[in-house]
Amino acid sequence: MTISSELIRQLAEFDAATLYEAAGQRGMVDPAIRPMWNGAHVCGPAITVGCPARDNLMLHQAVALAPVGSIVVANAERCQDAGAWGEVLTVAAQARGIAGLVIDGAVRDIEAIEKRRFPVFSRGLAIGACKKEKFGTMNEAIEVGGVSVRSGDIVVGTGDGVVVLESRNFEQVLQAAVARRERESEIFGHLNNGRTTLDILGLPKWNQGGRKAIR
């Protein structure tokens, strides 16, 4: 499936939490996989990689083959004692137009990566070294942070975390996200005019006696 740059641009306007809600509360990656520097933001189609623990050969393969604008999404077996991605792979990825990394594993050289403004979302940091010996998988379905990811799914990572959007739902998710943004804008207006979230959302109100809620 060809994904238009305009669709990517529109989805990139939203934070991961909004898109997760717009997708029917589906696709939330384990919150332990988080941005490795403040302000990191990714939005693009995934290229999936399965890496054996403590071996990053497949990440080198992915960087050599990934389409421009794609996000490398890797299952590194949740290994947190070896950094599977560092500055060298970052420079290689940027030179080839890769937009970011989401990895269920660890990375290193994060200060250098932040200086280069390359978005990285990972389970942790580790200075341990990886070998480059074992082949794994590429462009096959993998699991990252408890979520199944296929090449071509759109992956969005912001300060809130990471969400995976299935390829068959892109347009519906975008429409729901736009509607949610408009609804939130209305709510903000009501709040600024003195109304409460209890009134706006129709929430039960606490009885001053402390025994029950009043509807």
Given the candidates 3.20.20.70, 3.40.50.1460, 3.50.30.40, 1.10.357.140, the CATH classification of the domain at 5-166 is 3.50.30.40
Please name the residue that has the structure tokens 């409460």.
Answer: 196
The amino acid that residue 135 corresponds to is: F
Note the pLDDT tens digit of each residue in 143-193. Answer: 999 999 999 999 999 999 999 999 888 999 999 999 999 999 999 999 999
Strand segments, DSSP code E, in 9-139 are 34-35, 42-50, 71-75, 100-107, 120-125, 137-138
Note the pLDDT tens digit of each residue in 97-134. Answer: 999 999 999 999 999 999 999 999 999 999 999 999 99
Intervals of CATH 3.50.30.40 along the chain: 5-166
- For 124-140, letters b (16+ CB in 10 Å) and e give bebeeebeeeeebebbe
**Beta carbons of 46 and 69 less than 8 angstroms apart:** no
